[in-house]
Structure 1
Amino acid sequence: MTALAGPMADAFWATSLRRWNTVCWVLFAAMAVGLVAIDRPGGSKYAALALLGSVVLCYAALDRFPDNPVVRPHVYLSVLVLALGGLAYLRGNYAALFMVTLPHYWMFGRTPRVSMGFLGLATAGTLTGSVLRQGSWTVQFFSETLVSTVIVVAVGVLIGLWAHSVVAQSTERAELIVELERTQAELSEAHQRQGAADERERMAREIHDTLAQGFASIIVLAEAARAGIEGDPARSAQQLRSIESTARENLAEARELVGSGAQGGQAAAGSVAGTLRRTLDRFAEDTGLAVDADLADLDCDQQSRIALLRCTQESLANVRKHARASTVGVVLARQQYGVELEITDDGTGFVVDESTGFGLDGMRKRLAELGGRLTVTSSVGDGTRVLAVIPVADTEGTESTEGTEAAESAAGTESGATA
């Protein structure tokens, strides 16, 4: 078959073969009947029947058994070339067979060059047979046989090249469609993998900011209660109650994570100020540290409330574990550029660039998802300042970008790490 491949080429050639098969078999039968019934017996008649029979047998074998190892397309075309030349020499009536089998050179040629090569051989063979039959280069040969043959061959070449180009373009488009479908499938799979990775990261962040912090608080309270159970039993009893309360909250958080896909629906229920106030009261009760809070009564969306709560919880957890502070300050305010949450402590501080914990990075990513930013300013011995900014819509429902740029410029003048 032709060198073209693909669904479009296969369909084209299959349809063409079915149509021409009928024409070819009718022609073969008509020629055989004509040779048997009309021509007188003789050597040329039997030779013509033998040539026609060889073409019919090869074509039938290729048609019925296309994958047979004996009669391949080039074998059939070679037999056809010889048969046309022989019929032109023996009988002179090759025109019908030549015209009907003309598409076979394009159907069975591997490439356009091969197809045109066999077609050229067939043309030369038939013309040579005609000359030998007439015995000389007559005027009739040039005016009738040569001219008609050249016209038929030229038309056949043009039609064949056109059909080949159409099928080539169709095949190229089909291959492009297959490639696009494969690319879309790969992109879809990549998006699914990225979505799963994002979901795992989000779940890890929620677990770190809720359950892990709760368990850390339980451990600290349990150690303190055990240490003071003899010297200050009342204090230990209070710490045990805090352990119980924290454990219940952790259980509720776990159920919320499982039930809502880490959306934190109950964690930030109510106003932002009220939620943060309850968190700060629990922190002061558990640690005994002084907490100075200035919390504005703000109204913001659910995701912003959750982000502000998680930033507060993470910052307080860091104060509890690392700062050795005596006072913690928390300011929640509405600025022109959005909501601003500032948490400070008078603890030991740290080198921001050397921080490798998951908590700060989790806060940065959480705020970045909302278009916000986190600025951490600290140095050894000077305490720590954490500033979280979340842009919000203005009264017309559009985001205030000028104020955000001003806040970023102001934050950039301070030493620290900015996300």
Structure 2
Amino acid sequence: MTSVHVWDRTRIGWHLAFGVFVLVGVVLVVADSQVSGGRRAIVLALLAVLCASYARFGARALNREPQGQVYVAAAIALTITMYALVPVMAVLLFALYPQIWSLLPTRRAVAATAVTSLSVGAVVLVQGDFTEDAVGWASFIVISLFPSILLGLWITRIIEQSHERARLVAELDTTRAELARVSHEAGVLAERERLAKDLHDTLAQGSTSVLLLLQAARKALHGDMSRCEQHLVLAEETTRENLREIRSLVAALTPAELDGASLPAALERLTSRIGRELDVAATMTTTGEHRRLAPDCEVALLRVTQEALANVRKHAEATTVSVSLDYSPDDVRLSVTDDGRGFAPSARLAGGFGLDGLRSRVRHAGGSLDIHTSPGNGVTVLVRLPAGG
């Protein structure tokens, strides 16, 4: 939005008003039989000069060009001269005063108004031979100068406030557009991070699982064929679930594990699968009354479980794995525990997002994540989400 000065909005009106007052002046001076032919000709010539000055300087000055001072000076001199020659030309003052305030800065407008009014009063005194009536009219003109200036200042202040509001509105629109741009960029970045975490927690982990299963199948190929078959079946199952995850991510749907299934059922499938993959004792327990959680909370619990089990698969060398989901009135708690190697709390697991991704996801859902571990004592991942989740 661009601010438009109030004078600019009525520019055509200013031109018409000036033309009307000039036309009225012409009619009055021509119709006044008391005006001599010589004075009439001089006044009409001065009117022509005034119109030329307005066309050359005044009209352009209304476009905010710095030519207003030239026109106002000429207009004051011409108008006072015509008034001195023919008093009916005082009608031009109705056009002159508004032009003074529209074309000059405030202080100069006050000075120009004072000069004009005092000049008119001086003409009245001189032409009236300083009689009592002339002094009275001159005094009235001088006294009326003060309310005229106050009115001009008041109107100018209103216009300045309007201009300031227009500037503030323009700044607000600019700020709003910038905020929308920043918000859009932040949303794009957040969505990229979310997709990266989803890809890590699903496709990357699933591909790792398939790779490990195929390696195990190769080892069993020339020995235990039933074991080889079992590994191949699990690899095929994992690959199919990866494909389902890809379709879900592309369609921006819920995770494939939660599509048409409850969270406990999805966690049960994950736990059962890792037990079969690693040939370890894997258990999943649910306590409390099951209830649906907000989608982002269920996704967070699912992804934490997937990541924790993936770390068990890659690092733990565990013999038992347990997953526990507890629904209580105040919160929902998830724990994933293994009896594997564990690690030092200060250590970080390799592999991209890992534990940092878990914490970020849980924090986004409004919960907290704690990891309890030490070398040789396994790992316990604890997640707590508020009941409102």
Letter in 2 for 1:179: E
Q: Distance in 2 between the 1:68 and 1:373 partners?
A: 64
Structure 2 Cα separation of the partners of residues 41 and 335 of structure 1: 108
Report the equivalent of 1:345: 338
Q: 1:116 maps to what in 2?
A: 110
Task: Tell me which residue corresponds to 1:264.
Answer: 255
Structure 1: which amino acid aligns with 2:322? G
- The answer to whether the 8 Å contact 2:121/2:142 transfers is no
Q: Mean Cα displacement is larger for which, 340-349 or 15-24?
A: 15-24
How far did 1:93 drift? 4.6
* Deviations 1:191-226 (CA, angstroms, capped at 9, x unpaired): 222222222222222221111111111111122222
Aligned to 1:405: none
Following TM superposition, by how much is the alpha carbon of 1:314 offset from its aligned partner in structure 2, in angstroms? 0.8
Q: Which residue is 1:416 aligned to?
A: none
Partner of 2:17: 20
SS in 2 for 1:351: coil
Alpha-carbon displacement from aligned partner over 1:129-170 (angstroms, at most 9, x marks no partner): 445555x644333112x1232244334322211211121222
**SS state at 2:111 partner:** helix
Other structure's SS at 2:97 match:
coil
Query: CA offset at residue 239 of structure 1?
Result: 1.4
In the other structure, the counterpart of 1:414 is none
Match for residue 373 of structure 1?
368
Distance in 1, Cα, partners of 2:358 & 2:259:
16
State whether residues 344 and 383 of structure 1, in contact with CA within 8 Å, keep that contact through their aligned partners in structure 2. yes
Counterpart for residue 37 of structure 2:
41
Task: After superposition, give the CA deviation of every residue in 1:73-92 in whole Å (9 maximum; x if it has no partner).
Answer: 21211111211332344345
Q: 359-368 vs 238-247, which deviates more?
A: 359-368
* Number of the residue aligned with 2:324: 331
Shift of 1:247: 0.8
Partner of 2:278: 287
**Alpha carbons of 1:305 and 1:107: their partners in 2 closer, same or farther (altered >3 Å)?**
closer
1:107 maps to which of 79, 102, 115: 102
- Render the CA deviation track for 1:305-350: whole Å, top value 9, x for unaligned: 4332222111010111122222222222333532222111122212
The amino acid across from 1:225 in the alignment is: A
Q: How far apart, CA to CA, are the structure 2 residues paired with 1:298 and 1:317? A: 28
| 1:170 alignment partner AA | S
Q: Quick check: 2:289–2:328 contact (8 Å CA) kept in 1? A: no
Instruction: Evaluate the alpha carbon distance shift between residue 365 and residue 226 of structure 1 in structure 2; reply closer, same or farther with a 3 A threshold.
Output: same
Q: In structure 2, give the amino acid aligned to 1:282.
A: R
Q: Is residue 162 from structure 1 mapped to residue 154 from structure 2 by the alignment?
A: yes
Contact 1:206 1:262 in 2 (8 A): no
Give the secondary-structure state (helix, strand or coil) at the position aligned to 1:103.
helix
Q: Does 1:142 align with 2:138?
A: no
Equivalent residue number for residue 80 of structure 1: 75
Question: Partners of 1:280 and 1:378 in 2: how far apart?
Answer: 20
What is the Cα deviation at residue 66 of structure 1?
5.2
Report which stretch shifted further, 347-356 or 377-386.
Answer: 347-356
Change over 3 Å in CA distance of 1:305–1:76 after alignment to 2: closer
Answer yes or no: is 1:6 the counterpart of 2:9. Answer: no
Cα distance between partner residues in 1 of 2:279 and 2:153: 91
Take 1:367 and 1:204, find their aligned partners in 2: how far apart are those partners?
15
Q: Does residue 183 in structure 1 map to residue 175 in structure 2?
A: yes
Cα 1:57–1:68 shift into 2, 3 Å: farther
8 Å Cα contact 2:61/2:103 also seen in 1: no
Instruction: Give ranges in structure 2 of 5+ residues lacking alignment.
Output: none
| CA separation of 1:31 and 1:79: change in aligned 2, threshold 3 A | farther
One-letter code aligned to 1:7: V
Shift of residue 95 of structure 1?
2.6
Q: In angstroms, what is the RMSD of aligned CA positions? A: 3.0
Q: Secondary structure at the match of 1:328?
A: strand
Moved more, 328-337 or 166-175: 328-337
CA pair 165-65 structure 1, distance change in 2 beyond 3 A: closer
Partner of residue 299, structure 1: 290
Select 1:244's aligned residue among 222, 230, 236.
236
Identity across aligned pairs (percent)?
31
Matched with 2:224 is 232
TM-score by length of 2: 0.86
Question: Separation in 2 of the partners of 1:123 and 1:196?
Answer: 66
Task: Confirm or deny that 1:311 pairs with 2:308.
Answer: no
